[in-house]
Amino acid sequence: MNSDLNLRQNSLPRLFIGADQPKVAAPPQVAAAPQVPLSSPDITEAEIDAVTAVLRTPHLSFGPELRDFEAALAAYHSVPDAVAVSSGTAGLHLALLTLGIGEGDEVIVPSFAFVAVANAILQVCAMPVFAEIDPVTLNLDPAAVERAVSPRTRALLVVHTFGVPAEMDTLQAIARRHSLFIIEDACEAIGAEYQGKRAGSFGDLAVFGFYPNKQITTGEGGAVLARDPVYAKHLRSLRNQGRSEIGEWLDLVETGYNYRLSELACALGRVQLSRIGEILALRRASAERYDALLKGIAGLELPPLILPHRIISWFVYVVRLPEEVDRDQVQAALARRGIASGRYFDPIRLQPAWRTYSGAGAATLHLTESIARCTLALPFFNRITMSQQEEVTAALGEAIDTGRAF
């Protein structure tokens, strides 16, 4: 018997191993939730009322909440159209399809990002080209982007990492010079501003994500902003199986997807968006408290609170550990004290699924990799308390001291 099969057999539920085993499987072991979670949604009675009200209507999909949520998103960003979709990843997929990006095309992306950005490019049979990041903003470095442009490049997928806006004026100039599309990935950056304009209002299309760890949530969900009504119409058709807006339900004008967002999710998103000013202020205050508390830990690099020309929309609070300290050990020490933490982000190129990727831009990105080795996301959410932040600070300080002693 080969060892792989052995392994799989050993992992079968006890119920199937022998006749004398109990006939009812034991309940699955669920890991105890950490006392200080990494993220936590902020749901008030207003959201609960809005979602409950939807349940009292016959409209659970394609109703007034979708229309209102989309209108509010578009107005907040001063763009003509927003198209709500089932996730940020679905939004990226549709954005690429809408711009006609496909086989043989290259799209420049950061490797220091959530893997969905590269997966979506592969989904349309195009090739991600990974480019180096700026060490301060952690966003695409415009000089590296310029070097990565080839005759096959069709678009820049610009991620506003951790809610810090990318250097849009320089990136837009590069895109103009080489006739490239810009897709903004603002999944982590709703409410961020660059030179007085909101993230998401620069690109040909811009994508948002509303997973529960985001500044505002719809449970699962996302949206694509479009400045061109032709793109908006195409997005609406693609998210709904390729239906035309004016035709009958079963009139399909192209091949599409079910990337719709339910009325329940839209109601949740509409109320969350109406609270965004308060939400972003709470998150900024939490970031400022961490800044004051963590300054005392020698060798720990903190994220900048202020950056020129930018307003940060605080998505996560990511510190950089001293190089000599083992991050896994720090995370384990925090976990022992009930404190969650996250490796934001392992470079996409180093993910097991991507190690054998041989497309352009596959070369090692030294800066990305050296930064990514020591980044650590700490618990961060709207209602994190001062005492929780003090607890995290004490635990982190001790874990770093212990790590240094080794």
Ligand X SMILES: Cc1ncc(COP(=O)(O)O)c(C=O)c1O
- Residues making contact with ligand X (CB under 6 A): 87-89, 113-114, 116-117, 159, 185, 187-188, 209, 211, 222
For residues 279 and 396, which CB has a smaller minimum distance to ligand X in the complex? 279
Which residue in the shown chain puts its C-beta closest to ligand X? Answer: 88
Between 187 and 319, CB nearer to ligand X: 187
Least distance from ligand X to the Cβ atom of residue 221, Å: 7
Shortest Å distance, C-beta 351 to ligand X: 14
Task: Give least dist CB 222 to ligand X, A.
Answer: 5
**Token output for 213:** 């760890």
Instruction: Mark whether 23 is an active-site residue.
Output: no
- Considering the complex, state which of residue 261 and residue 279 has its C-beta at the smaller distance from ligand X: 261
Considering beta carbons, is residue 290 or 315 the nearer one to ligand X?
315
Q: How far is the CB of 129 from ligand X (least distance, A)?
A: 17
Which residue in 23, 197, 214, 233 is the catalytic one?
A: 214
Residue 244 beta carbon to ligand X: minimum distance, rounded to whole angstroms: 26
Residue 7, sorted as left (phi over 0), alpha (psi -120 to 50) or beta, turns out to be alpha
Nearer to ligand X, 256 or 403 (CB): 256
Residue 159 or 174 having the CB closest to ligand X: 159
What string of H, E and C letters represents the secondary structure of the chain? CCHHHHHHHHCCCHHHCCCCCCCCCCCCCCCCCCCECCCCCCCCHHHHHHHHHHHCCCCCECCHHHHHHHHHHHHHCCCCEEEEECCHHHHHHHHHHHCCCCCCCEEEEECCCCCHHHHHHHHCCCEEEEECECCCCCCECHHHHHHHCCCCEEEEEEECHHHCCCCHHHHHHHHHHCCCEEEEECCCCCCCEECCEECCCCCCEEEEECCCCCCCCCCCCEEEEECCHHHHHHHHHHCECCECCCCCCCCECCCCCECCCEHHHHHHHHHHHHCHHHHHHHHHHHHHHHHHHHCCCCCCECCCCCCCCEECCCCCEEEECCCCCCHHHHHHHHHHCCECCECCCCCHHHCHHHCCCCCCCCCCCHHHHHHHCCEEEECCCCCCCHHHHHHHHHHHHHHHHHHHHC
Shortest Cβ distance from residue 315 to ligand X (Å)?
8
- Residues with catalytic roles: 214
